[in-house]
Amino acid sequence: MHWSSPVDGYRLAYDRAGQGRPVVLLHGWPGDRSDFADVAARLAADVLLPDLRGFGESDKSPASGAAEPADYGAAGQARSVVGLLDELGLSRVVVAGYDVGSRVAQTIAAHYPDRVTALVVAPPLPGAGRRVLEPDAQSEFWYQAFHQLQLVEELVDGRPDAVRAYLRHFWSHWSGPGFTPTDSRLDHLTERYCPPGAFTASIGWYRAGSGMIRQSLAEAPPACRIAAPTTVLWPEFDPLFPRAWSDRLGEWFADVELHHVDGVGHFSPVEAPDAFAAAVQRAVERTDLT
């Protein structure tokens, strides 16, 4: 494990392995950089695996001790990842992610287009719009409202049994029918999320307004679409993101391919590392040809 230099007062913990074209893999909530361990092991590339701000072993608050809600949002997370690339002298990279990491990857591609050779992302993606307010969607996205409440800190933060039960719910409910999170996976994530303040830092993403509901209700197709070639991997059994919501991708991405990943749920890099790694490797190899 390595530490980055601070950006906005936050250091990122990260792993780096392999040789070749650089690839950055960005994890989701409630996970950490180990979400992509099996994908990274399958890649012929120079792979960076960071924990995002407020997650895993990365800093939960800035060196000054005065965190702002926006610190944990997409723009702040993107600044930290780009700062790590600058520190390592990596000018252009393939960026891949799912969940929180997908939004951060898209933000990097939109705001730092010269740094991204290709994107490989799973939901969330833009285009859902007001469909997030439909009853079926609201029954799944309840946690984003809950994360705005002080009550979540009183009930979950710093309580190992509560943290484990909360994480187990999402890792079980959001995954596909053939996947069950192992005790060792839950033990690892509980260890990362249970120190006092760690769980609260992780939900800073939602408190910064970066969650799906707020983003979808505010979204509008941009004047300039993301130019980087983009591969979208859409799972079959993700209860948060029905495949019908993939119908507007072309409004946000200038060069996009949609691939269905059958049999799996929300945690696509964990549930389907072969498919995710194959998509990233194809992006790397296309980069080699340009």
Q: Which amino acids are annotated catalytic?
A: 99, 206, 266
Tell me, what amino acid is at 198? Answer: A
The answer to whether 227 and 110 have CB atoms below 8 angstroms apart is no
Name the strands in the sheet holding 22-26, side by side, starting at the edge strand that comes first in the sequence: 2-3, 13-17, 46-50, 22-26, 93-97, 116-121, 230-235, 256-261
Residue 286: phi and psi, rounded to 5, are -65, -40
CB within 8 Å of 92: residues ≥ 6 apart: 22, 114, 115, 116, 117
Across-strand partners of 48?
A: 16, 24
How far apart, in whole angstroms, are the C-alpha atoms of residue 191 and residue 177?
Answer: 26
Helix (H, G, I), strand (E, B) or coil at 97: strand
d(CA 111, CA 226): 9
